[in-house]
Amino acid sequence: MNFWNTFAALFSNFGALTWQMVVMWGIGALLIYLAIVKKMEPSLLLPMGFGAILVNLPSSGAITQGDTVGPISALFEAGMSNELFPLLLFIGIGAMIDFGPLLEKPWLMLFGAAAQFGIFFTLFLAGFFFDMKDAASIAVIGAADGPTAIFVANTLKSQYLGAIMVAAYSYMALVPIVQPPVIRLLTTQKERRIRMPYEKGNVTQLTKILFPVVVTVVAGLVAPASVALVGFLMFGNLLRECGVLNSLSETAQNVLANLITLLLGLTVAGQMTADKFVRPDTLLIMALGLVAFIFDTAGGVLFAKLLNLFLPEGKKLNPMIGAAGISAFPMSGRVVNKMGLAEDNQNFLLMYSISVNVSGQIASVLAGGLILSLMA
């Protein structure tokens, strides 16, 4: 009799299985498919997808159950509840970025600022459905900057952290799918074929070293709440540009960034439990995140078109570069360059689009800090 009781106990968990958990398995499988087959941000989507399945097993030991602390829950407490993982990832991102082309043409920073329009538009829109702190957290999805979205949502204690994290990273990965239709809708073929010959300027090593320091100081004075985000990003860039810490810079770009991305993916998945995720408000958050993303893209493109009204023939800008002002680096810059080449195989926009993309990194962090200051 004891044998049969023990045997039956092995399958007792099946009774705790819900359809919502099965839905989350499907979402996890989709993320794994996108990572492996479509090669869309595999270092992030693969651990997120597998983690989503892991935490949606009945009585999963991967997350805290009663008094038993699960490892993924422990990771969340150690690295996400205090924003440590996003900040460490920003060191790696900063070490990857070369601000040289942007410093050659600093006017390109205007596009990074214009492409944050969707964040503030969505903040207004989300305010009709959520309280202001949750609405602000949801709006930052539009920056297409996962670490910033996590930092803001954590700081504002949003109850929708899991959905916000998934939406932010999903839209980062979906840049090649979401942005091109928006760009085509807002531009004519003639505009997409505008050539912008690149003339290389000269930026001294001292300028590159001073830039991250100056940006950090200015950000700290203008938006104090952003100083941690901006500071860690700029510290990573200082490692790159100082010239005396090359091994640390390479470690930050590769080992640190990859390891933190892996842990971040698993930790994000820890918030993707069925009871938190399969709800109507989660679907609304995903929709609002898409609205923010689309309006950010539109803001950059329309700003370029506005400038073209005042520029003479021969000096007009290709408005597609404005779309690269979101923070999804370097995916957005590459998408714009690819679209330019598709219209005209001699139309190379990469240097301009990547420079705008880099400015979007700074602008999205400042926008997140500004929102934190407004919500404080």
Q: pLDDT of the chain along its 376 residues, tens only?
A: 565 555 555 566 677 788 899 999 998 998 899 889 988 778 888 998 999 999 999 888 888 888 888 899 899 888 877 778 888 988 998 898 888 888 888 888 888 888 888 888 888 999 898 998 899 889 888 777 777 888 888 888 888 877 887 788 777 777 888 899 999 999 999 999 988 887 777 888 899 999 999 999 988 887 787 788 889 999 999 999 998 999 999 999 999 999 998 998 888 888 888 888 888 888 898 899 889 889 999 999 999 999 988 888 878 889 999 988 887 777 888 889 899 898 888 888 888 888 888 888 888 888 888 888 887 6
Asked whether 152 and 368 are in contact (CB, 8 A), the reply is yes
Alpha-carbon distance 210 to 8, whole Å? 68
Q: What is the pTM of this model?
A: 0.82
pLDDT tens digit sequence for 319-337: 999 988 887 777 888 889 8
- The DSSP line for 95-137 is HH---HHHHHSGGGHHHHHHTTHHHHHHHHHHTTTS-HHHHHH
Q: Please tell me the predicted confidence (pLDDT) of residue 8.
A: 54
Beta bridge partners of 65: 68
C-alpha pair distances (Å), 324 with each of 69, 154, 214, 232, 335 = 42, 27, 24, 22, 8
Domain boundaries in the chain? 71-375
Q: Please tell me the predicted confidence (pLDDT) of residue 6.
A: 58
From the CB of residue 53, how many other CB atoms can be counted at a distance below 10 Å? Answer: 21
Record the tokens describing residue 291, joined without a space: 């609205």
pLDDT tens digit sequence for 332-374: 888 898 998 988 888 888 888 888 888 888 888 888 888 888 8
Record the tokens describing residue 289, joined without a space: 């995140």
Quote the crossing angle between the two packed helices 84-96 and 71-79, to the nearest 10°.
Answer: 70
Q: Please tell me the predicted confidence (pLDDT) of residue 3.
A: 58
